[in-house]
Structure 1
Amino acid sequence: MSQSKFIVRKVAVLGAGVMGAQIAAHLVNAKVPTVLFDLPAKEGDKNGIVLKAVDALKKQKPSPLSNKEAVLHITPANYEDHLHLLKDCDLVIEAIAERADWKADLYRKVAPHLGEHTIFATNTSGLSINMLADACPESVRPRFCGVHFFNPPRYMHLVEIIPCVTSEAGMLDNLERFLVTTLGKGVIRAKDTPNFVANRIGVFSMLATIANAEKFGIRFDVVDDLTGPRLGRPKSATFRTADVVGLDTFAHVVKTMDDTLPADPWHPLFKSPEWLQKLIADGALGAKAKRGIYKKDGKMMLVFDPAAGEYVAGGQKGDDAVKEILKISNPAEKFKKLRESSHPQAQFLWACFRDVFHYIGFHLADIANCARDVDFAIRWGFGWSVGPFETWQGAGWQQIAAWVAEDIAAGKSLGNAPLPAWVLEGDRAGVHFDAGSFDAASGKLVGRSQLDVYARQLAPAKVLGETNAPLGETVFENAGVRAFTTGDDVLVVSFKSKAHAIGPDVIDGLNAALDIAEDRFKALVIWQTEEPFSVGADLASMMPAFMMGDWDAIENAVTRFQAMSMRLRYSQVPVVAATQGYVFGGGCEFVLHADRVVSHLESYIGLVEVGVGLLPGGGGCKEFAMRAAAEARGDILSALKEYFMTIAMAKVATSAAEAQEMGFLKKADVVVFNAFELLFVAKSEALALANAGYRPPLKSKGFPVAGRAGAASIKGQLVNMLEGRFISEHDYFISGLIADVMCGGDVEQGTLVDEQWLLGLERKAFITLLKHPKTQARIANMLTTGKPLRN
């Protein structure tokens, strides 16, 4: 008999602190009803603690909630009155403070109320799972494990599952399936060692950076300039990350390492520096206290100087010579230059890398099931673009290993433990190969998880060292796109341009792909191999015609763009767009014209042309006017106003769920939580449309518009915004043109127009704006600085 399916109907989260509340928020984002528990409040409503936490969720930026409605599905509860609610929960996640004694007390209280099949998991960042399991009744232990979310849970891809010796294999598989597909997470299975995988290595890396900064006398702001995006790491780099996490939280994780890892050869390093303890004692806890390692003084950013024991003017940058070394694309050459340089900042950077390589090489056997888990943990949990083992392998395994060994022998490294024998094997080329990633404990290569849920990931995350051949078989390719098939009836097309901007090559390629799809395939899917979906039209490609004042060529380009949008709408095969990341401008217009959109939750969709002094010219104004007409209950103008404001204010949906509320996506469009499942779901939707006997929509014979009276009404409100100085004169001019286009031009209210009529108005207004000096200044500023100009 086959095993029955694991369905999560409801979840309980125990603990309404920052992590508990945000885990609850992400569960309801995923349409999982959630009961959020905390202690009964001493006065007022007994659910007061939870109600306050839920209220805080609505105000946080970036928002833990994907849409306003989600929060309504969190049920507040307290341990005194509501423990009976636990029996209906398929999963219970405990997320109280990191105190083993408090957790044990809570387990004794809740265990009798758990359903007999309920999975019980602790969200701890480093406590022993086996020790915590001992506090559970024997009947609960097979269903108990660690589940470590990273902060903030909506946005961080990593979740570590930590089994204890009694955890049932089937239960762990069910939990992993739920985390991967429903919550969209990247899961690694960690060993039950202090701080598990990501925090153990990520926090070590921060401690090594702090120690080496002191050793080489590098200021904190200079460290952050050198260890952020220049190394493929988040903007918050090192010290700003500590501020964001909270200096007290960071110190707590370090203390866990100090208390639980006495035998670690690097144990002397696991101490919060004296200056950090002083800041914490002074209440300077980081971002949440508005001061930490950094603090703002008016417009000036100050940084703490431990030598002076006070804040000094911040903003110092790394030396240009060192930054030039970091620009070298060949990793082997880059590391050679860093190691050979006598510049303290270069020596500092080499030392930081060396100490992390030393640590992961030494500890791989005891902290992770294989090297791939280490790299994914650091990429997904700490936001590095390349994991530490990948970095080492990419720079030449043997050479780096020899240099690290040399520095250990010379007493230069932070730890003096020798590198393990496997690191120094003469034929070792690295740890990642097509056959799997190296497990130092067994000395074998470990392949990918065979859990069924991963069959949905047609283009899974890869590590450097695995073959990165393009997916599927190429059917057509030009300079702008690659169209391929994975052996079914769907043609998939991906853009090759930078940030997937849409220029003439992309439009040529899409037209060719549609010709092929109509001729030989059942459907077309537009899917990018990585985010963003598209930043919009490639303005740079228009520049030559623009500089020569060749307006006919530009109008022709806009006409082709519009024709492309219309072809996506009316092609003879269903077109499905699969979005993630930015979906801006022309990219958004293509999405608006697709038959169906499969959108990753973190899709940020918007018609942002106003930022460069233009209006949507690829069918965006037309599309919103049509949607307003379809929704109007006799009053076209009131239905249109919301759409008008969305374009005029360049509003961007901050999630796919919000994009549905704003009208960028339809209710029938699909929201997917795991970006690696996008292509699988998009192809399934495309085939479903085709197999249902797809026919393109019939062209509208005419829909009503608000006319000149509607445009006049909108412009009246714009005058108030101009006089209140909420918008500039050029904003007013642009918005007036948008109103004219969306209201159908100089016609009576209720006049029936067709799509081509509105496209003509769009095109004319687009060219008018392009000729305007202030728009030209906005475009030039965006192309040179990447930032919008308000003029």
Structure 2
Amino acid sequence: MMRTIRQAAVIGSGIMGSGIAAQLANAGIPCLLVDLAPTGLTPEGEARGCTLQQPAVRNRLAISAIERLTKASPAPLYDRDFAGRITPGNLEDDLARIGEADWVIEAVIENLSVKKELFSKLEPHLRPGTIISTNTSGISVNAMAEGRSPEFRKHFLGTHFFNPPRYMQLLEIIPGESTDPGLVKELSAFCESRLGKTVVRAKDTPNFIANRIGTYGLLMTLKIMLEKGYTVEEVDAVTGPALGRPKSATFRTLDLVGLDTFLHVVNNVHANTADPDEKAAFAVPELIKSMVAQGRLGEKAGQGFYRKEKGPGGSRILALDLNSLDYRPQSRPASGSLKAAKLAKGAAAKTAALLAGKDRYSELAWEVLKPVLIYAAGKLGEIADSVRDIDEAMKWGFNWEMGPFELWDAIGLERSASRMEAEGAVLPAWVKEWIAAGNRSFYKREDGKLFHVSEGRYKSVEFPPEVISLRELRERNKVVKSNSGASLIDLGDGVACLEFHSPNNAIGADILTMITQSVEEVRRNFTGLVIANQGKNFCVGANLMLLLMEAQDEEWDEVDEIIRLFQNTMYRLKRFEKPVVAAPHRMTLGGGVEACMPADQVIAAAETYYGLVEVGVGLIPAGGGCKEMALRASERVGLPEADLQPYLSRIFETIGTAKVSTSGHDAIKLGYLRETDRVVMHPDHRIYEAKRAVLRMAAAGYEPIPEKKIRVIGSEGKAVLRLGALGMRESGFISDHDLLIAGKLAHVLSGGDVPAGSLVTEQYLLDLEREAFLSLCGEPKTRERMQHMLAKGKPLRN
């Protein structure tokens, strides 16, 4: 069951409060954002003759916060226009308006007395049943509710959003002693579905789950570094991707968070724990105290464990020398264990390879990992009831690829526990009893179901129906067809899913072959087709390495055949007589976009970064991308007498500058997605929604898309497009090779050398695409760009 929340209010317009308001706005929920009413005028306000009675002055803090939301980078809003869903207010004039909200979120300063005073002031204005939550990162929820009425306490709980609220998927929900259990379930479902969050249930303990374990791990890492004489760079080399953790590792993470913020979180546990061992573990190292006192707070202060320094040759990153406390050029740690971890695939294999080494870095990895695993196990039952809540909190709150219990399983629970005890570590009693009872892991899979440890026994993980796991379907033998690049999986109810699983999900002959085979299989045995996967990214484009090799060998017939195969496959998919729905997520680039364009509908995750980026490697879209964009412009304009040029000019600029959407909503604005396409907030709900869309279309009596003639701007319009590109070249914004590419793109989008207003076929534009693509492959500068992208992962401007 999911509670209906039609409007919300956020109290506190700081970074967190405004960010939460932005995410509510992203979800389409109108939000009142309030803060204190100013007690004085700004110099600008005085100069304009403003008074403290004017609404614009009284709401100044919230108004400024909303303005910052539209300018911030990375953007808190999916679309700047969504700022219009946030209304500014203040705590003196708008208490009654706050009371009209279905959900009120407090996000003021982390001070218990301030929060309690606010709730006392707010309570008389709340309607019965209004949800009231605090965004505290560690203050006791029960302490905040002291003195409030039973009605207030019943509807009061903690909702700890992680910063930034748009991009951090974790939400810790912390019920109080009197919180209605039904409310917890309903709000959890709402936050999962409407806000796109991964919700974990935490207990009312200092810093809850993720910050409790995460800060402990950081403290232990600092302790080991200082005791064993490791450098900042050595620690980060070990505690980043080599252990299945983010590239920011330990010290870049601390710099990003802010050492003062870290100090506050650590002190919160130190002050509130009764365990003397834990109190000692959460004693702040003198190094951190000293750095904070010196203002070395991290990125916001320009220096922390790293410092960025500008010089004549460009900027460089310096690292802190722990002996002199001066900054010096970074070193690049290297060893056999680090190299083995880099070559391994996946967090489990990387960690195993790192730990298997016999050097100082494998020793560091073990010393860092061991205390965190033991500590997390020791906190089970105190901070959360299940190992999965702890694992999910660490994965989504700290961006670990595997949580501590998943990682313990991966390195071998029984074997690693024995090593820990042999080294003098004390394991939690329940872990020893668990192993003694014959259990070999904290998770297990049986009959396609996942089980985890919760309250001392295995319990099945109950996924909501909106979450379809392709991995589980594979384990249940639901794969219909498969090759090295893709698989066709039975989703049930007559719907199949085409899943890419090539390296980086890049499109090559294997995926194109599977698309063709899938069409035939679905034609015979299914109602419709979903195109989706659950990889890190949906698809980064076509197999660039293959194209480069053929171009370098001047195998032009082979290149032509590759492009024809891509075009024909996409065309066949578009004309398929059964419904097709694509469900992209995250990076969906080049050929990935072209694989979605033939679909009857696209259901994209909100965090979808979607774009035809081929010009970045010296090419143009040639898998139907240009043709589809020209077709959409023609359809959008409609009437023969309407001016098509402005639409094509925008498309020309979008493709010509390799624009990538900043969200699914932005992809609609850029024209990559249609108004009839949809955006879903939770990435794990895409496949479910795509399946539902297929079934709806089939039930409505699906008719395949008929081929339509495309009205083009012709040679006259092409001249206009090329003139714009020439202006950019003369202004120094693009190179001669960019101008050449722009000319080819203009030729295709305009329909070539035909009169303006001509009607052409889709195949005609596909032929133009292919010819332009082939000619650009023959350019040495294009091949340089392709090679640079493969080697460096970023475009070359030549």
Structure 1 residue 506 corresponds to structure 2 residue 511: yes
Q: Distance in 2 between matches of 1:626 and 1:8?
A: 40
Structure 1 residue 696 corresponds to structure 2 residue 704: yes
Q: How does 1:326-475 map to 2 (within 5 A)?
A: 326-327=341-342, 329=344, 343-408=359-424, 421-422=432-433, 425=436, 427-434=438-445, 439=453, 442-449=455-462, 454-459=464-469, 469-470=474-475, 473-475=478-480
SS of the residue aligned with 1:356? helix
What whole-Å deviation, never above 9, does each CA across 1:746-777 have from its counterpart, x for those lacking one? 12222221211111111100000001111111
SS of the residue aligned with 2:87? strand
Aligned residue type for 1:321: G
SS of the residue aligned with 2:274? coil
Q: Contact conserved, 2:452 with 2:461, CA < 8 A, in 1? A: no
- Corresponding position of 1:36: 33
- Corresponding position of 1:741: 748
Q: Contact conserved, 2:550 with 2:558, CA < 8 A, in 1? A: yes
Q: CA shift at 1:263, angstroms?
A: 1.0
- Corresponding position of 1:711: 718
Q: Distance in 2 between matches of 1:332 and 1:517?
A: 36
Structure 1 residue 778 corresponds to structure 2 residue 778: no
Q: Contact conserved, 2:609 with 2:660, CA < 8 A, in 1? A: yes
Distance change (3 Å), C-alpha of 1:449 and 1:123: farther
SS of the residue aligned with 2:166? coil
Distance change (3 Å), C-alpha of 1:437 and 1:407: farther
Q: Contact conserved, 1:482 with 1:494, CA < 8 A, in 2? A: yes
Distance change (3 Å), C-alpha of 1:7 and 1:291: same
Distance change (3 Å), C-alpha of 1:143 and 1:503: same
Distance change (3 Å), C-alpha of 1:386 and 1:332: closer
Structure 1 residue 136 corresponds to structure 2 residue 151: no
Structure 1 residue 486 corresponds to structure 2 residue 491: yes
Q: How does 1:457-606 map to 2 (within 5 A)?
A: 457-459=467-469, 469-470=474-475, 473-543=478-548, 545-606=550-611
Q: Distance in 2 between matches of 1:778 and 1:328?
A: 26
Q: Contact conserved, 1:216 with 1:344, CA < 8 A, in 2? A: no
What whole-Å deviation, never above 9, does each CA across 1:487-517 have from its counterpart, x for those lacking one? 3121211112111111111111101111121
Aligned residue type for 2:397: G
Q: What is the total number of aligned residue pairs between the two structures?
A: 772
Q: Distance in 2 between matches of 1:8 and 1:332?
A: 40
Q: Distance in 1 between matches of 2:190 and 2:561?
A: 50
What whole-Å deviation, never above 9, does each CA across 1:305-358 have from its counterpart, x for those lacking one? 232122222x22223233135347599998788668664333222110111122
Structure 1 residue 665 corresponds to structure 2 residue 634: no
Q: Distance in 1 between matches of 2:35 and 2:453?
A: 41
Q: Distance in 1 between matches of 2:703 and 2:348?
A: 55
Q: Distance in 1 between matches of 2:743 and 2:160?
A: 51
- Corresponding position of 2:49: none
Q: CA shift at 1:563, angstroms?
A: 1.3
- Corresponding position of 1:198: 210
Structure 1 residue 63 corresponds to structure 2 residue 53: no
- Corresponding position of 1:152: 164
Q: CA shift at 1:282, angstroms?
A: 2.8
Q: Contact conserved, 1:533 with 1:579, CA < 8 A, in 2? A: yes
Structure 1 residue 678 corresponds to structure 2 residue 686: yes
Distance change (3 Å), C-alpha of 1:189 and 1:546: same
Give TM-score, length-normalised by structure 2.
0.93
Give TM-score, length-normalised by structure 1.
0.94
Q: Please point out which of 239, 258, 265 is paired with 2:277.
A: 265
Q: Contact conserved, 2:32 with 2:89, CA < 8 A, in 1? A: yes
- Corresponding position of 2:239: 227
Q: Please point out which of 235, 240, 258 is paired with 2:252.
A: 240
Q: Alignment identity in percent? A: 37
Structure 1 residue 767 corresponds to structure 2 residue 766: no
Q: Contact conserved, 1:12 with 1:35, CA < 8 A, in 2? A: yes
Q: Distance in 2 between matches of 1:341 and 1:498?
A: 27
Distance change (3 Å), C-alpha of 1:343 and 1:486: closer
- Corresponding position of 2:654: 646
SS of the residue aligned with 2:337? helix
Q: CA shift at 1:527, angstroms?
A: 1.1
Structure 1 residue 18 corresponds to structure 2 residue 26: no
Q: How does 1:159-238 map to 2 (within 5 A)?
A: 159-238=171-250
Q: CA shift at 1:471, angstroms?
A: 6.0
Q: CA shift at 1:277, angstroms?
A: 2.1
Distance change (3 Å), C-alpha of 1:636 and 1:325: closer
Q: CA shift at 1:25, angstroms?
A: 0.6
Q: Please point out which of 314, 323, 327 is paired with 2:338.
A: 323
Q: Distance in 1 between matches of 2:276 and 2:70?
A: 42
Q: Distance in 1 between matches of 2:431 and 2:483?
A: 49
Structure 1 residue 613 corresponds to structure 2 residue 618: yes
Q: Contact conserved, 1:223 with 1:318, CA < 8 A, in 2? A: no
Aligned residue type for 2:29: V
Q: Distance in 2 between matches of 1:376 and 1:694?
A: 40
Aligned residue type for 1:119: I
Aligned residue type for 2:629: F
Q: CA shift at 1:138, angstroms?
A: 2.3
